[in-house]
Structure 1
Amino acid sequence: MSPDAWISLATVTIVFLLMGTTRIGADMILLGGVIVLLTLGVIGPQQALAGFSNDGLFTVAFMYVLVASIRETGGMDLIIRYVLGRPRSESGAMARLLLPVSAMSAFLNNTPVVATYVPAVMSWSRRLDLKAHRFLIPLSFASILGGTCSLLGTSTNLVVNGLLAARYPQASLHLFDIAWVGVPVALVGLGYLLFAGRWLLPNRRSAAQAFENPREFTIEMAVDPEGPLVEKTVEEAGLRHLRGLFLVEIERGGNVVSVVGPGEKLKAGDRLVFAGTSEAAIELQQFRGLRPSSLGESNLQKDFRERRLVEAVVSDQCQFIGQRIREGHFRTLYGAAVLAVCRNGERVDGNLGQIRLQPADVLLLEVRPPFIERHRQSRDFLLISQVNGQARPVHEKAWLAWTILVGVVVLASFGVLSMLNAAMLGALASLLTRCCSVGAAKRGLDTQVLLTIGASFGLGAALESSGAAAAVAQQAMTLAGGDPYLMLIGAYVLVALLTEVVTNNAAAVIAFPIVTASAESLGVSVMPFAIAVMFAASASFLTPLGYQTNLMVYGPGGYRFGDFLRVGGPLSVLVGITSLLLIPRIWPF
């Protein structure tokens, strides 16, 4: 191999290792890899930036706007309200959940579908007296399975099709071409989840159950009207930096002062709510000027207009990962007070301020009402849902948002317009009809995914132009003994394993030139190999880190890492076998 080929392989290897072992964003790692290759002259500016002009990338971006319009008009809530209903058994409830989720995920990005369904499922399962953890992993897996049924199902499908169209124009796929494999794969996977997979889940509490009793994690005191703290600020009273305790809110005259600042003045009779350990409450009992609050309903169980209780799932991109809550100044940055932390289905005991946050931790927060909208699209949180909150109202334009999406699907599926053109037209229609505001459209764009896709193209181009892809393909062909079917199996397994530790888009785009070079070396069609990459990149069932929707349900469901392997392992095997049996029949070598 040439020096450029060795540099390309080394860079890709380091990129994969960094994505799998560090918390640095995949987009930043991939962009760094492209910059290194550009600086060393392995690729030119045109190759480095080619991904950012790819049809697949822009189709993904415009589809985000369509999804935002469904979300903003309450379109998903409409489905939830009329589809979930009140089934009589757990198996009936599972069917009512999985079938519509998989159907929706064939046309909508999986992440907002799951983000909308998680709080609804938590509330729904409580109402039916069923355990939420029986539904959340199946919810994530159903969204992944549904995404394999059409090119609009996941961004990976669109990106791989974009690669095909750019390199092999005659091989470009239509909207439902992959349904010949995707629908059987989805049916096999859903059958497994309905009849076998759900019984492999352990009996464990969800995050909501861990948070259900406010008295477990709050201490309430009252300001003595005759004491020395009256008219003093929180800072002057010495209540700002208590060891193991946080002053969360003050109830005063039927109103609440939430997320209390240091300059807030105390009044006679104020009812103070602290979060912390029960041991630390002893210090409050001895605090001059405070006395135990009168018995009665817990303050957190009362409904105040100024305050919201929310559950937030910590993202693996959160800037507080690995930091202690107090040291990171969480309250100052977000305007939110942490009341409790749940991990693996159990509330983390001890000093709240000393807890180091981990990905998928579920935080019980007290916030002011604007927090929910302000941080709903934050990269720091995968999911924010109001505790015991009402479902978002169904707006009168929900039907219009769904009509626009259906129109996009019809135009693309019948070949009236290209997928890019149809998605652009749909996004424009959503904005013109005010189904989605410009601000909501901007917030709906997942820039990390878009940057990841764009940068992955640069690394793929380096592997191809330097000859590294051809060299690796030659080695793979030798190992496979020149058998295209063995090569297909190897390509599928390689991408399926890569997608568990790095992003599915990066795994697909970087593997694509190697896999197609293998097909060309064998003198066979590239189509079965490209389709195998597409399906393998979506088969993220083994770990919670493999796909964003898995991480979204990990904390709220109270799961542990091994739960995904236990349920997802057999599913991965079933999906792999089904895909590898059907792909060569639909797209012969």
Structure 2
Amino acid sequence: MPLDAWISLAVVLVVFPLMAFSRLGPDIVLLGAVILLLTLGVIDPAQALGGFSSTGLFTVAFMYVLVASIRETGGIDLIIRHVLGRPRSEGRAMARLLLPVASLSGFLNNTPVVATFIPAVLSWSRRLQLSAHRLLMPLSFASILGGTITLFGTSTNLVVHGLLVERRPDLDMGLFDIAWVGVPVAVAGLLYLLLMAPRLLPARRDVASPFANPREYTIEMEVDPAGPLVNRSVEEAGLRHLQELFLVEIERDGNVVSVVGPGERLKGGDRLVFAGTSEGAVELQQMRGLVPSRHGESSLEKEFKERRLVEAVVSDQCQFVGQRIRDGHFRTLYGAAVLAVCRGGERVAGNLGQVRLQPADVLLLEVRPPFIERHRQSRDFLLISQVNGQARPNHEKAWLAWSILAAVVALATLGVMSMMNAAMLGAAAALITGCCSVGAAKRGLDTQVLLTIAASFGLGAALEHSGAAQALASGVLGLAGSSPWALLVAVYVLVSLLTSVITNNAAAVITFPVVMAGAEALGVNPMPYVVAVMFAASASFLTPIGYQTNLMVLGPGGYRFGDFLRVGGLLNLTTAAVALVLIPLVWPF
């Protein structure tokens, strides 16, 4: 091998231990590796920066915008309510998540599937008091397993099939031919995730949890007369088992229902009084059919997208001290809706509108952005801080946000345009239609994931263009000798390792001609080896940079490099064992 190839291999051997054992993020480690390779002349500037112009990078970026539009319109709640539900155990929760994800990924590109489910799983896990750390990696792995079921399940399958047809048109495959192996591989992988992943992934407490705000608020919401909760029972509306929230009473036509049973039917205009935390208030804001209680005239009607949630501490100089919130027209004067009130770290008993404000009361307010700057130095409030959560979504546009995402997936699946082009048009449509503001779109971008994707392309380019990947492929396949079985195992192991350090498509493209030449030299059917390349290239469970869905869950799940090795290593062995047994049975040598 040339010197550049040895340097590339040495850098790779340093990069992975750094990501596994250092506290540096994968984006910093990979960017450092690319800078070193560029400095040593192994790659040129175009190759080093090639990842920043890759279609994969921009596809993920535009998908983040589409997901932000669904989150801003409250569409995430539809996934939680109708797909994920309220399972009674972690095992059932895992099953409710993995089965639909794997099924969808067999027919849709898994990037939008995972991008859509990540915020839903984060919110869902909070409601169920489960650790998102134990759900997000299985989410990514399930989407990868689902992609192996059909020929169009992943772009890698299509790339390999294209290379095969170009070289041997007589070996053309049907869309569902690989399902004979893909379905058993997916079933075995999902069983592994259901049984073993919970044992291999420890539940890590959120870093912020020891410092969580212990204040308990009185929170009041109103049932929208035109919303979907009218005539539903408290149980059916999902208000019975809310985490960090308790439905204290219902005020209806001047009467108070103080003992609220699960069968109590909700009516339009009902005022629901909850006891709970600020995080619980944020969860209530996301629920379609609930609106802030109307105290006086509203100056915030329909202005959803620019709302914020803030906590404000009432000063003794506030003009509303001693007055009831409802009588004081608080909303009209400040342009802020009072969602909840806390006094002395505890909730205030009674109806929110009847509460008389006192100095040092903490109010949870729904406001427009100018409120924060306008009243930060105001004598009416001692302190104003923004809550880590969005205000009430614009549920009226949820159907539009979902329609845009469905159109994007349909355009890409039917081959009308590339996934990147479809995602770009979808992101533009989300901004133009008001499903997502520019600010929300910017906040939705995960820069660590995007930088890691871009840098990984530079590292892959070094292995590919220096000849290191080609030399490894030839060397490993040369060890297989004259045994068809040994060659099949060598092909699978080689591609599986390569796809952990370079892109799936690059691993397949590099090894395909070598694999075909090896099969022809042995005088055997090349189909088992072609299918092995497809499955091994998709079996990217070992590292976070092996597949872009792994990168997408890396940050939200708080994972370390070792987590992927521990869980993904055994999953790689499981899927490899099933695939290597079945492939020769379906496509004999």
Q: Secondary structure at the match of 1:305?
A: strand
Equivalent pair of 1:19/1:25 in contact (CA under 8 Å): yes
Match in the other structure for 1:305: 363
In the superposition, relative to structure 1, how do residues 368 and 492 fare at CA in structure 2: closer, same or farther (>3 Å)? farther
Q: Which amino acid aligns with 2:117?
A: V
Structural mapping, 1:368-447, within 5 Å: 368-372=385-389, 393=393, 395-447=395-447
Structural mapping, 1:434-583, within 5 Å: 434-481=434-481, 483=483, 486=486, 489-490=489-490, 492-493=492-493, 506=502, 508=504, 515-516=511-512, 518-519=514-515, 522=518, 527-528=530-531, 530-538=533-541, 549=553, 552-553=556-557, 571-581=571-581
In 2, Cα distance between the equivalents of 1:209 and 1:30?
Answer: 27
CA shift for structure 1 position 406: 1.8
**Structure 1: gaps of 5 or more residues:** 126-131, 217-254, 267-295, 309-334, 336-365, 374-390
In 2, Cα distance between the equivalents of 1:551 and 1:517?
Answer: 37
Q: Which amino acid aligns with 1:73?
A: T
Alignment of 1:149 onto 2:146: yes
Structural mapping, 1:11-22, within 5 Å: 11-22=11-22
Structural mapping, 1:336-355, within 5 Å: none
Equivalent pair of 1:101/1:139 in contact (CA under 8 Å): no
Q: Which residue of the other structure, out of 114, 122, 140, is the alignment partner of 2:118?
A: 114
CA shift for structure 1 position 141: 0.8
Q: Which amino acid aligns with 1:137?
A: R
Structural mapping, 1:273-288, within 5 Å: none
Equivalent pair of 2:61/2:450 in contact (CA under 8 Å): yes
Structural mapping, 1:30-429, within 5 Å: 30-86=30-86, 94-103=94-103, 106=110, 108=112, 110=114, 113-124=117-128, 132=130, 137-138=134-135, 140-150=137-147, 183-194=183-194, 196-197=195-196, 200=199, 299=345, 304-306=362-364, 368-372=385-389, 393=393, 395-429=395-429
Equivalent pair of 1:531/1:583 in contact (CA under 8 Å): no
Q: Secondary structure at the match of 2:82?
A: helix
Q: Larger radius of gyration, structure 1 or 2?
A: 2
- Superposed CA RMSD in Å reads 5.4
Q: Secondary structure at the match of 2:112?
A: coil
In 1, Cα distance between the equivalents of 2:451 and 2:133?
Answer: 29
In 2, Cα distance between the equivalents of 1:205 and 1:435?
Answer: 34
Residues 87-107 of structure 1: CA distance to partner in whole angstroms, max 9, x if unpaired?
A: 577765554344345456645
Q: Which amino acid aligns with 2:518?
A: L
In the superposition, relative to structure 1, how do residues 256 and 307 fare at CA in structure 2: closer, same or farther (>3 Å)? same
CA shift for structure 1 position 73: 1.9
In the superposition, relative to structure 1, how do residues 157 and 447 fare at CA in structure 2: closer, same or farther (>3 Å)? farther
Q: Which amino acid aligns with 1:536?
A: A
Equivalent pair of 1:480/1:486 in contact (CA under 8 Å): yes
CA shift for structure 1 position 76: 1.8
TM-score normalised to structure 2 length: 0.55
Q: Which amino acid aligns with 1:535?
A: S
In 1, Cα distance between the equivalents of 2:188 and 2:363?
Answer: 48
Equivalent pair of 2:539/2:572 in contact (CA under 8 Å): no
Q: Which amino acid aligns with 1:120?
A: W
In the superposition, relative to structure 1, how do residues 482 and 144 fare at CA in structure 2: closer, same or farther (>3 Å)? same
CA shift for structure 1 position 399: 1.6
TM-score normalised to structure 1 length: 0.55
Equivalent pair of 2:51/2:453 in contact (CA under 8 Å): yes
Q: Secondary structure at the match of 2:539?
A: helix
In 2, Cα distance between the equivalents of 1:175 and 1:449?
Answer: 32
In 1, Cα distance between the equivalents of 2:178 and 2:98?
Answer: 21
CA shift for structure 1 position 80: 0.5
Residues 408-465 of structure 1: CA distance to partner in whole angstroms, max 9, x if unpaired?
A: 2222222233333333332332222222233333333333333333333333333333
Equivalent pair of 2:508/2:534 in contact (CA under 8 Å): no
